[in-house]
Homo-oligomer: A and B are copies of this chain.
Amino acid sequence: MEVVTKIAQLKSIVERVKGEGKTIGLVPTMGYLHEGHLTLAKAARVENDLVIMSIFVNPTQFGPNEDFQSYPRDLERDKRLAKSAGVHVIFAPSVEEMYPSDGGISIHAGRQSEILCGASRPGHFNGVLQVVTKLFHLAEPDRAYFGQKDAQQVAIVQTLVRDYNFPLEIRTVPIVREEDGLAKSSRNVYLSKREREEAPAIYEALQIAKETFLSSRDVKNALNEATTHMMRKTSGTIDYLELLSYPDLQPVNEDTKEFLLATAVYIGKTRLIDNIIFSIKGETTNV
């Protein structure tokens, strides 16, 4: 496995590999890898000749009061884990390497970004689209891998690729969970022992909402049941809990076939997100 920090190094690898007619899978991450990331890398390994993993805590997707400075980083550990998952190249640039200049051109996520996580993180998805565009142009992947965990991010990146004709395919990989159901996340390390014990109630609440909706077709009722469960089982506060059409992220109507049930909850100071994507006939991509 090769670790490169300079754009010129990455481009030289990409040029060589593409010249040999080989395919490239890109796994964009902010590092501090957990099993979720490794699942993405393994999926990329199956479908591509070369797997590039980017490890870059992107400042432009953090708000001024968010945890950019304190976001966990451990490149040495990441290297070991990435290697074990079959990654061929780690691209771990500095902020200066990624953003040496700013001519003032910006990409704006639209209506899909004004809800869910976007509502409480203004500018977050603009930053995601900026860094993802740069990484797509640098790594020139045939396929790029994203976790369903960040369902809104996947929906928005898929829209970017579709509407701007990026020559690549977005592959979505299901959420990886702890044994008790808590979705894996780099931020889980922030949880105290007691908070960690409460946290599985988030996924339980989503399951309750899904079952309630499937039997009643009543969005309000479903979300109320889930809210009650979270209130009873955790000390947390709900940032949002919504049932929307997927991947358009619009209000559910009678024609909706695919659903995104998504929540963000503050457990103490730690903001955790989780979701279920399901169809009328039951859960689809997250079995």
Contacts and interface: CB of A to CB of B under 8 A. Distances in A.
Nearest to A165: B137
Nearest to A135: B165
A166 B11 CA distance: 11
A138 to B, nearest CB: 5
Contacts of A159: 103-105
A13 to B, nearest CB: 13
Contact of A165 (B7, B104, B106, B167): B7
Interface in A1-35: 7, 11, 19, 21
Interface stretch (A37-45, A107-115, A174-182): A107-115
A129 to B, nearest CB: 7
A151 to B, nearest CB: 15
Contacts of A103: 110, 112, 156, 159-160, 162-163
A224 interface: no
Contacts of A163: 101-103, 105
A72 to B, nearest CB: 27
Contacts of A270: none
Nearest to A166: B137
Tallying the copies of this chain within the complex gives 2
A133 B164 contact: yes
A140 interface: yes
A80 interface: no
Contacts of A187: none
Contacts of A105: 107-110, 129, 156, 159-160, 163-164
A191 to B, nearest CB: 34
B104 A134 contact: no
Contacts of A7: 165
Contact of A101 (B101, B111, B112, B162): B162
Given A105-B108, A108-B108, A137-B164, 8 more contacts: A11-B167, A104-B109, A104-B112, A105-B160, A105-B163, A105-B164, A107-B107, A134-B164
26 contacts: A7-B165, A11-B167, A101-B163, A102-B163, A103-B110, A103-B112, A103-B159, A103-B160, A103-B162, A104-B109, A104-B111, A105-B107, A105-B108, A105-B110, A105-B156, A105-B159, A105-B160, A105-B164, A106-B107, A106-B108, A106-B110, A108-B108, A134-B165, A137-B165, A137-B167, A140-B167
